[in-house]
């Protein structure tokens, strides 16, 4: 609340009115609360720490005890002065869902995290300054695909974009975070920007500002894929404003696989039964049913 | 009439009748009535909805939109009723959250969508459910629990459908895509557009990234890389223009995201990988060489065998020619000469070779070694010992010699020798 008070009162603590310019100038102020639910695996936890190291404006908090009363997160964010929440919810010790929200008024998006690889296990050679601000690279389809994608983009932009002039931020840009939309899923990659001194001959001429450097990228990690599931109007509450029809929950997938396996047995069992019935109907089983004897049967002909 | 009204009002006041309250009650009654009817219709209704949702699979978005319109329209009507009934339901969840404002906006949205929908054919189909929905909503506004009921049909449809379909599992759900609400919420939290680029550093690619096969790792990662690289180029240009530092000077050291330890691990891994690759390449080369050497040896042996066969054939031919020489005619003789020549030259060749070997330089290394080890020129032991033949040979034996009679005459004494001489 302190920040709200400050922004409303427009006065410095010592009584002088604030600079008009500074007050009027729009600023990108973001603070991100990162936390997970209980029951995360080590991989999930490592992803969390990776994101925390990459995002200097983030604040890591202890695991949240509840999975039902997520509105508590709003209070938590208020407590820490955060206006973004990235909440990682683990289900069944294997599935990871990521909630991105803008407390206190929303919106919220719930994403399913798949193909998760942390920085440590990927062993990429890229590295960047801790606290440098990333360039955020978005796919054009975020703009063209529909309104919900623009909302999603906004949420990602504010959660993962490091604001200027933060306490722990460093002044140079040395990594890029890319979000690509393929098949309704958002693929996230992080690369280091490496500038190498190139010889005059092989430098491209389309970079007039600094012709002596070549740009190339080296991946840092982590890697993950996000599938949007649902969007709520409020922060962890409110009406559903978007729901992904194509999303199939991992539970469903597992159940299907199991059912298919069960189906195999059922089919076999059914087949056996059918065969039995057929044999009985033909009178091939002793003591059950009667054999139909027609006119041309040997027993009739040679009786 | 006006007088009448006044009088009536006065009477009411006197009696203490509250028109507002009465009206409320009347509305309530109406609502209940409608609710009852709705319940009667509900069975049919749901079926209809279900049929629609599953028959119109090819245009799910249209359907969804239509449903949303229905919802919104419902909300609009609900808001009207609610305005009169006052706000009983204060709960902050579901569609009736911030009643008046939201409802109005919802109504607007509904109208917009409705206008859009005039072009689509699905409206006429959906008309009835919408109306029913209205009725339902009117009845439900008062009670909180009823709110949930509004949602139940959707899930009912889902469960029913899955029951009906049996083994075939459908993952179809009704997509909710409330564009108006999305726009509103986007507006509520979006960053102002007047921010300079350096405030967010967000770049959108010029074209949507197209990846034909998402399973193909290489092309997919390449597409991501390309997108990022383009973004970086653009961002660098923009940042340079704004005068924001971009590249880190070489002498600027600070804590990195990955620790030294982690980077050491990465490097070690790379070194190991390189070593492994080199070792495997070496091993392969060795293997290839070995295989090649073997091939050479085999070829040599084959060549030798072939040469031997050739000579044997030649000899055989020669033999046959010799046998048939008695019967041969003159023409054969001519060939015979040549062949004989070849044979003789071979013989002489061999002889000369032997001679050269005997006379000239030393024999080959192997021979030398063997000579050294086993001696030269064959067996020498027991060469002077007797064998059966020599033992049976009585050529040099004489009895006279053995008896001492026949042998040499004794030398005469000195006097005798003097006499005779």
DSSP-derived secondary structure for B188-234:
HHPPPTTS-HHHH-EEE-SS----S-TT-HHHHHHHHHHHHHHHHHH
DSSP letter at B177 equals: B
* Same structural domain, A81 and A224: yes
Nearest-by-CA chain B residue for A26: B195
Residue A88 lies in a domain: yes
* Same structural domain, B172 and B52: yes
- Please state the rounded mean pLDDT for residues A10-17: 52
- Cα A12 versus chain centre, distance: 41
Residue B150 lies in a domain: yes
Q: Which carries the bigger pLDDT value, residue A183 or residue B3?
A: A183
Q: What SS3 state is found at A25?
A: coil
Cβ contact B262–A120 (<8 Å): yes
Q: Is B206 on the interface with A (CB under 8 A)?
A: yes
Other residues' Cβ atoms within 10 Å of the Cβ of residue B298:
10
* Same structural domain, A231 and A272: no
DSSP-derived secondary structure for A34-88:
EEEBSS--HHHHHHHHHHHHH-TTEEE-PPBS-SS-TTHHHHHHHHTT-SEEEEE
- pLDDT (tens digit per residue) in A20-50: 555 567 888 999 999 999 999 999 999 999 9
Closest CB to A140 among B208, B211, B267: B208
Closest CB to A217 among B181, B200, B225: B225
* Same structural domain, A243 and A272: no
* Same structural domain, B106 and B81: yes
Cβ contact B179–A147 (<8 Å): yes
Residue A219 has pLDDT above 60, yes or no: yes
- Sequence-distant (6+) residues with CB within 8 A of B173 are A243, A245, B158
Residue B285 lies in a domain: no
- Domain limits at A197? 18-247
Residue A129 lies in a domain: yes
Whose CA is closest to B238, among A131, A247, A173? A173
Structure token pair of residue B126: 């959906």
* Same structural domain, B83 and B205: no
Q: What SS3 state is found at B85?
A: helix
Residue B179 with chain A: CB contacts under 8 Å:
146-147
Domain count of the fold of chain A: 2
- Please state the rounded mean pLDDT for residues B201-219: 91
Residue B58 has pLDDT above 50, yes or no: no
- Sequence-distant (6+) residues with CB within 8 A of B68 are B113, B176, B177, B178
- Please state the rounded mean pLDDT for residues B219-224: 94
* Same structural domain, A167 and A265: no
Residue A282 lies in a domain: yes
Closest CB to B247 among A140, A195, A240: A195
C-alpha span between B50 and B67 (Å, rounded): 12
Residue B176 with chain A: CB contacts under 8 Å:
240-243
* Same structural domain, B162 and B216: no
Mutate to test the interface with A, among B67, B154, B158, B182 (most CBs of A within 10 A): B182
Residue A29 lies in a domain: yes
* Same structural domain, A280 and A199: no
C-alpha span between A203 and A215 (Å, rounded): 10
* Same structural domain, A75 and A207: yes
Residue A235 has pLDDT above 70, yes or no: yes
* Same structural domain, B159 and B20: yes
C-alpha span between A295 and B153 (Å, rounded): 62
- pLDDT (tens digit per residue) in B149-159: 333 334 344 44
- pLDDT (tens digit per residue) in A142-152: 999 889 999 99
Q: How confident is the model at residue B283 (pLDDT cuts 50, 70, 90)?
A: very high
- pLDDT (tens digit per residue) in A110-146: 999 999 999 999 999 999 999 999 999 999 999 998 8
Domain count of the fold of chain B: 2
Helix, strand, coil distribution of chain A in percent, nearest 5: 30, 30, 40
Residue spans of beta strands (DSSP E) within chain A: 32-36, 58-60, 84-91, 95-101, 108-117, 135-138, 175-182, 185-197, 213-219, 223-232, 240-243
* Same structural domain, B24 and B82: yes
Residue A180 with chain B: CB contacts under 8 Å:
209, 223-224, 227
How many Å is the maximal CA-CA distance in chain B? 223
**pLDDT score of B417:** 87
Whose CA is closest to B99, among B112, B89, B113? B89
- Sequence-distant (6+) residues with CB within 8 A of A172 are A129, A132, B245, B246, B247, B248, B252
Residue B268 distance to chain A (closest CA, Å): 10
Residue B391 lies in a domain: no
Min mean pLDDT across A278-282, B188-192, B212-216, B226-230 is at A278-282
- Angle (CA) A5-A7-A8 rounded to 5° is 65
- Please state the rounded mean pLDDT for residues B280-305: 93
Q: Is A173 on the interface with B (CB under 8 A)?
A: yes
* Same structural domain, B124 and B218: no
* Same structural domain, A46 and A194: yes
* Same structural domain, A124 and A228: yes
Q: How confident is the model at residue B24 (pLDDT cuts 50, 70, 90)?
A: confident
Q: Is A151 on the interface with B (CB under 8 A)?
A: yes
Q: Is A165 on the interface with B (CB under 8 A)?
A: no
Average confidence score pLDDT of chain A? 86
Q: How confident is the model at residue B142 (pLDDT cuts 50, 70, 90)?
A: very low
- The proportion of chain B whose per-residue pLDDT surpasses 70, expressed as a percent, equals 55
Contact, B227 vs A139, CB < 8 A? yes
Kindly report whether the peptide bond that precedes residue A104 is cis, defined as omega within 30 degrees of 0: yes
Residue B181 distance to chain A (closest CA, Å): 6
Closest CB to A105 among B188, B221, B257: B188
Q: What SS3 state is found at B373?
A: helix
Q: How confident is the model at residue B135 (pLDDT cuts 50, 70, 90)?
A: very low
Residue B110 has pLDDT above 70, yes or no: no
Residue A5 lies in a domain: no
* Same structural domain, A161 and A278: no
Q: Which carries the bigger pLDDT value, residue B22 or residue B388?
A: B388
- Domain limits at B125? 15-187
Q: Which carries the bigger pLDDT value, residue A297 or residue B301?
A: B301
- Please state the rounded mean pLDDT for residues B11-33: 74
- Please state the rounded mean pLDDT for residues A258-283: 88
Residue B188 with chain A: CB contacts under 8 Å:
105-107
* Same structural domain, A143 and A268: no
Residue A12 lies in a domain: no
Query: Long-range contacts of range B143-149, CB-CB < 8 Å, 24 or more positions apart?
Result: B143/B89, B144/B89, B144/B91, B147/B89, B147/B91, B147/B93, B147/B94, B147/B95, B147/B96, B148/B94
Kindly report whether the peptide bond that precedes residue A215 is cis, defined as omega within 30 degrees of 0: no
- Cα A133 versus chain centre, distance: 21
Cβ contact A217–B228 (<8 Å): yes
Residue B124 lies in a domain: yes
Cβ contact B247–A181 (<8 Å): no
- Please state the rounded mean pLDDT for residues B270-274: 95
Average confidence score pLDDT of chain B? 70
Mutate to test the interface with A, among B154, B200, B219 (most CBs of A within 10 A): B200
Mutate to test the interface with B, among A55, A180, A249 (most CBs of B within 10 A): A180
C-alpha span between A201 and A248 (Å, rounded): 52
Structure token pair of residue B214: 């998402």
Query: Among all chains, which residue has been given the structure tokens 């990162």?
Result: A34
CATH code, A230:
3.40.50.10480
Q: Which carries the bigger pLDDT value, residue B22 or residue B172?
A: B22
Residue B247 lies in a domain: no
Other residues' Cβ atoms within 10 Å of the Cβ of residue B146:
15
Cβ contact B209–A182 (<8 Å): yes
Q: How confident is the model at residue B276 (pLDDT cuts 50, 70, 90)?
A: very high
Nearest-by-CA chain A residue for B238: A209
Residue A138 with chain B: CB contacts under 8 Å:
202-205
Residue B121 distance to chain A (closest CA, Å): 22
Residue A256 with chain B: CB contacts under 8 Å:
169
Cβ contact B266–A143 (<8 Å): no
* Same structural domain, A203 and A270: no
Whose CA is closest to A121, among B174, B166, B262, B156? B262
Residue A302 lies in a domain: no
C-alpha span between B144 and B88 (Å, rounded): 9
Residue B106 distance to chain A (closest CA, Å): 12
C-alpha span between B335 and B342 (Å, rounded): 11
Q: Is A141 on the interface with B (CB under 8 A)?
A: yes
Residue B311 has pLDDT above 80, yes or no: yes
Q: How confident is the model at residue A10 (pLDDT cuts 50, 70, 90)?
A: low
Closest CB to B199 among A135, A164, A220: A164
- Sequence-distant (6+) residues with CB within 8 A of B282 are none
* Same structural domain, A179 and A30: yes
Residue A10 lies in a domain: no
C-alpha span between A118 and A57 (Å, rounded): 20
């Amino acid at each position: 609340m302190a920040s709200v008070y400050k922004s409303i009162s427009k006065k410095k603590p010592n009584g002088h009115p604030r600079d008009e310019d500074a007050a009027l100038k729009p600023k990108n102020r973001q603070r991100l609360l990162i936390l997970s639910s209980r029951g995360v695996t080590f991989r999930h936890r490592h992803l969390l720490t990776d994101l925390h190291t990459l995002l200097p404006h983030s604040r890591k908090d202890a695991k949240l005890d509840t999975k039902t009363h997520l509105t508590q997160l709003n209070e938590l964010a208020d407590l820490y002065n955060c206006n973004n929440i990235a909440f990682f919810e683990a289900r069944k010790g294997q599935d990871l869902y990521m909630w991105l929200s803008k407390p206190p008024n929303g919106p919220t998006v719930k994403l399913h995290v798949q193909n998760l690889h942390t920085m440590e296990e990927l062993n990429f050679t890229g590295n960047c300054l801790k606290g440098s601000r990333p360039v955020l690279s978005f796919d054009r389809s975020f703009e063209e695909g529909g309104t919900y994608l623009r909302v999603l983009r906004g949420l990602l932009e504010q959660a993962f974009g490091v604001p200027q002039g933060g306490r722990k931020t460093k002044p140079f840009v040395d990594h890029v975070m890319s979000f690509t939309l393929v098949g309704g899923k958002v693929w996230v990659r992080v690369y280091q920007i490496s500038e190498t001194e190139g010889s005059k001959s092989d430098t491209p001429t389309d970079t007039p500002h600094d012709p002596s450097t070549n740009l190339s990228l080296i991946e840092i990690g982590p890697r993950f894929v996000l599938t949007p599931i649902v969007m709520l109007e409020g922060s962890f509450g409110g009406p559903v404003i978007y729901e992904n029809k194509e999303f199939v929950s991992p539970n469903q997938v597992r159940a299907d696989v199991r059912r298919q396996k069960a189906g195999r047995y059922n089919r076999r069992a059914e087949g056996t039964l059918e065969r039995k019935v057929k044999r009985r109907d033909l009178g091939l089983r002793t003591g059950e049913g009667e054999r139909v004897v027609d006119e041309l049967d040997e027993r009739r002909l040679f009786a | 009439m006006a007088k009448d009204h006044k009088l009536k009002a006065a009477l009411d006041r006197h009696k203490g009748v509250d028109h507002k309250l009465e009206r409320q009650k009347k509305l309530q009654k109406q609502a209940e009535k409608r609710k009852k009817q709705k319940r009667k219709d509900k069975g049919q209704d749901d079926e209809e909805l279900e049929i629609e949702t599953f028959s119109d699979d090819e245009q799910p978005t249209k359907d969804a939109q239509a449903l949303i319109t229905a919802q919104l329209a419902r909300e609009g009507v609900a808001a009207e009723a609610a305005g009169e009934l006052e706000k009983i339901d204060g709960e902050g969840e579901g569609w009736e959250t911030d009643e008046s404002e939201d409802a109005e906006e919802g109504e607007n949205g509904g109208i917009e969508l409705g206008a859009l929908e005039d072009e689509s054919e699905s409206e006429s189909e959906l008309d009835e459910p919408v109306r029913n929905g209205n009725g339902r909503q009117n009845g439900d506004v008062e009670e909180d629990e009823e709110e949930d009921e509004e949602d139940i049909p959707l899930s009912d449809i889902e469960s029913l459908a899955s029951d009906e379909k049996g083994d075939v599992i459908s993952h179809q759900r009704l997509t909710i895509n409330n564009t108006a609400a999305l726009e509103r919420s986007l507006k509520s939290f979006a960053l102002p557009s007047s921010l300079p680029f350096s405030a967010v550093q967000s770049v959108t690619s010029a074209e949507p990234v197209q990846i034909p096969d998402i399973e193909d790792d290489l092309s997919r990662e390449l597409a991501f890389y390309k997108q990022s690289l383009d973004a970086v180029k653009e961002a660098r240009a923009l940042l340079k223009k704004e005068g924001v530092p971009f590249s880190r000077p070489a002498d600027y050291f600070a804590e990195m995201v990955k620790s030294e330890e982690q980077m050491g691990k990465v490097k070690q891994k790379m070194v190991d990988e390189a070593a492994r690759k080199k070792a495997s390449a070496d091993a392969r080369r060795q293997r290839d060489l070995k295989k090649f050497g073997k091939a050479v040896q085999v070829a040599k042996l084959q060549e030798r065998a072939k040469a031997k066969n050739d000579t044997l054939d030649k000899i055989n031919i020669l033999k046959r020619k010799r046998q048939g020489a008695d019967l041969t005619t003159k023409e054969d003789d001519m060939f015979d000469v040549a062949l004989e020549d070849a044979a003789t030259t071979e013989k002489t060749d061999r002889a000369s070779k032997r001679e050269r070997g005997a006379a000239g330089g030393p024999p080959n290394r192997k021979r030398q070694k063997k000579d050294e080890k086993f001696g030269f020129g064959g067996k020498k032991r027991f060469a002077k010992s007797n064998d059966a033949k020599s033992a049976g040979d009585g050529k040099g034996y004489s009895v006279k010699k053995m008896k001492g009679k026949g042998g040499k005459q004794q030398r005469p004494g000195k006097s005798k020798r003097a006499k005779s001489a």
